[in-house]
Amino acid sequence: MKINTLLLATLLSTSMSLASDTNPSTVSEMTVKQEGIKYIKMLGGALKEELQIHMKADKTGLGAMGFCTAQAESITKEVNSKFPEYALVRRTALKARNQANAADDLDKKIMKEYEASIVAKTFLPADIKVVQDGETTRIYKPLVTKGVCLKCHGMDISTEIQEVIKTHYPKDQAHGFELGSLRGMIVAEIKKHP
Ligand code: HEC
């Protein structure tokens, strides 16, 4: 019973802080990890929702491809504009499609750890990593290749989609992925702040 009350209090405070993003007193009640996860969910949720709508409307994936090439970056910017200035969220990958999403050394190290745990079969999709990088805390969420991702990141991409990839991302590396492999990560970076 005690645990339930605690859980309820946590849920309430989370939904309250979601409702009032800019209220510093509610933000400071969250741990850095919780805050990072909140931002990760905002970006992940926004992109996932749009992707689902477009994949449903056009099963070939071509419509969704148009959406990703035209909107993924601007949605990322828009979501980031809602955060306090000490925070940002981005996507990255060892093999990136959009060079703007290229990984740095710390990102690469973490992705290799995730890949090793997938091989060792100890990987859990909910395994969030919190890593200190100087004054900044990074919160990492792994993204695994699912069935829906294969249309644009798999081994058997339609010629139509391949054409779009070639036009927009001549340096594309984000193809040839297998189901269950690590596609990339969403990263939140939170700078130390008062
Ligand atoms: C309709 C085509 C399409 C589908 C389906 C798709 N993606 Fe992508 N993905 C793209 C395009 C285009 C980009 C590059 C534009 C961008 O997002 O910045 C991209 C970029 C990414 C990136 C950023 C790193 C990079 O390579 O630039 C990640 C991570 C990613 N996708 C993961 C996924 C995952 C996980 C799924 C399945 C849940 C998925 N994608 C499904 C087209 C797609």
Q: What is the largest CA-CA distance in the chain?
A: 59
Residue type at position 130? V
d(CA 128, CA 107): 13
- CA separation, residue 8 to residues 12, 16, 181 (Å): 6, 12, 36
Q: Which band of pLDDT confidence, cut at 50, 70 and 90, is reported for residue 17?
A: very low
What separation in Å is there between the alpha carbon of 82 and the centre of ligand 1?
Answer: 22
Convert the pLDDT of each residue in 86-120 to its tens digit: 999 999 999 999 999 999 999 999 999 999 999 99
Query: Ligand 1: does its nearest atom lie under 6 Å from the Cβ of 98?
Result: yes
Convert the pLDDT of each residue in 40-74 to its tens digit: 999 999 999 999 999 999 999 999 999 999 999 99
> Is the model's pLDDT at 5 over the cut of 90?
no
> Which residue minimizes the CA distance to atom 41 of ligand 1?
149
d(CA 150, CA 125): 18
* pLDDT the model gives residue 30: 79
What separation in Å is there between the alpha carbon of 3 and the centre of ligand 1?
Answer: 39
Sort residue 176 into left (φ over 0), alpha (ψ -120 to 50) or beta.
left
* Residue range 35-42: mean pLDDT, rounded: 97
d(CA 150, CA 179): 7
Atom of ligand 1 nearest to the CA of 151: 5
